[in-house]
Amino acid sequence: MLFLHRGVLYQHSFRLGTEIEEARKFDDLVFECTQGSKKVYRFLQAKHTQDEDNKKIGVGNLLTKDKSGEFGLAKYFVSYLKIKNNQDFADGNLKDFIICTNIDFDLDQSTARNTVKKLRVKTLGPNEEIEILVEVIDTSDVFFKDGGTRYKFSYIHNNMISVVQPAFESAVEEAMEELEEEIKKLQNKPDQNSKRKLERNQTWQREFGRMMNEGRLEDNIKEFFDKLVFAVNQPNEIKLADIIKSELGEQFNDIDRQNVYACFQEKMLDWLKEKGRRFLTHEDGREFFRKMKEEILEVVRKLVNSSIFPL
């Protein structure tokens, strides 16, 4: 909701999609806009937890091979490769891939004030003595101006590539095996959707194979880390609701913010269901807010009139 509202406020032209299948593990939100004369895509996956005071993202969370792990880098790398080799996004620049969460990294406090920070090193277990560095992103972003910190992985300052490469290679090989199975299932299906998926999967299988055979895995890992952003300590759902209420209150001249937000949330969900899983344009967004404002103001007028002239 915040992306849509700020998209309407700040962007001249954009398209926004949620639960877009082609975005794979970054399917929570796909934001397409024009910067200068170039089309730009931004991908976001939200990972919010209720236990934000006790949970932190550690080395083990990042290096896990478990696909159900919320912050495992290997599965996000495979999704990055699939998006990179998808014709649906070939007409633009893949600007960034954002993991947005309301918890923080488990940082070594000796580097807490530095621009380049170190995650706490484990002294025991499978990730013993592995060092991961993250670097603060200090550029402004209208979608991330409510606290928290954005980081990129600082692979040039240590051996991050060699640390993740075995797991990433394994993840790619496993993905190729899964693609082979999916291709077999799709080959004899006559419907257009199956044919489209077959062609897409064959492209991924072919491009993954070329990357591995031509020794380009490391280059792709570097590209991935150049575009991967971890937005940590972001507002939780309650704080996010307060931020949206505040922004809507400004737009609706401080008319009962709680009711405006409740109406906004209800109409937003109904609207998204009506639109289906397709991209929404800035025109769609402006029309949504125009209609919502008219309806809310009409409700307010009725309430005012009923209080002045009670039955």
pLDDT tens for residues 100-152?
Answer: 999 999 999 999 889 999 999 988 888 889 999 999 999 999 999 999 999 99
Q: Which has the higher per-residue pLDDT, 78 or 290?
A: 78
pLDDT at residue number 102? 96
What letter represents residue 1's amino acid? M
* 90 vs 166: CA distance, rounded Å: 28
Q: Locate 176 and state its tokens.
A: 């190729």
First to last CA, the chain: 38
* 52 vs 232: CA distance, rounded Å: 11
* 252 vs 120: CA distance, rounded Å: 46
Q: Which has the higher per-residue pLDDT, 118 or 304?
A: 118
Question: What would you measure as the largest C-alpha separation in the chain, in angstroms?
Answer: 80
Domain residue spans of the chain: 37-232
Band (295; pLDDT cuts 50, 70, 90): confident
**Average pLDDT of the residues of the chain:** 89
Give the number of C-alpha atoms closer than 13 A to the C-alpha of residue 82, restricted to the C-beta side. 24
Listed residue (182, 192, 238, 231) closest to 26, CA to CA: 231
- Out of 59-73, 150-164, 239-253, least confident range: 239-253
Model confidence, pTM = 0.89
